[in-house]
């Protein structure tokens, strides 16, 4: 008869252990569901951030392309102005030297003859 109280105690212990395991399992499932929910929210937020960054990057690329186009156009204009600014004084100097070293060009037929003779 001494075995009976031990058997009852083991049965009660087994019931408590089973209840404890069931409670831990339920708590674990709740925690897993909560964790999954937080992970999904976090993933959704990161997806939104990535979309915003993609939009910003596209905006930067578009602005960069426009700036390159503008700089390219300005570069050609600047070279044209530099060329004109460089050639004009040289041309004026050549005309002055031509007049100084060959004054007969302007004395005989006038300045209009000189201009026509130079090709204008």
pLDDT of residue 26: 94
| Burial environment of residue 11 by CB neighbours within 10 A (0 to 12, 13 to 18, 19 or more) | exposed
pLDDT of residue 33: 93
The number of domains in the chain is 1
| Nearest-angstrom CA–CA distance, 8 and 1 | 11
What's the pLDDT tens digit per position in 27-36?
A: 999 999 999 9
Work out the pLDDT band at 43, boundaries 50, 70, 90.
Answer: very high
**Where in the sequence is the domain holding 63, given as residue range(s)?**
3-118
- 119, pLDDT greater than 90: no
**Closest Cα partner for 103 from 115, 94, 114?**
114
What's the pLDDT tens digit per position in 5-39?
A: 888 888 888 989 999 999 999 999 999 999 999 99
């Amino acid at each position: 008869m001494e075995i009976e109280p031990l058997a009852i105690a083991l049965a009660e212990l087994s019931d408590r252990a089973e209840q404890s395991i069931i409670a831990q399992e339920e708590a674990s499932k709740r925690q897993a569901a909560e964790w999954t929910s937080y992970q999904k929210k976090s993933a959704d937020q990161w997806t939104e951030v990535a979309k915003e960054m993609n939009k910003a990057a596209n905006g930067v690329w578009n602005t960069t392309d426009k700036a390159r186009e503008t700089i390219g156009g300005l570069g050609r204009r600047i070279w044209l102005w530099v060329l004109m600014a460089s050639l004009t004084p040289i041309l004026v100097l050549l005309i002055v030297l031509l007049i100084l070293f060959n004054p007969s060009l302007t004395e005989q037929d006038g300045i209009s003859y000189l201009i026509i003779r130079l090709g204008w």
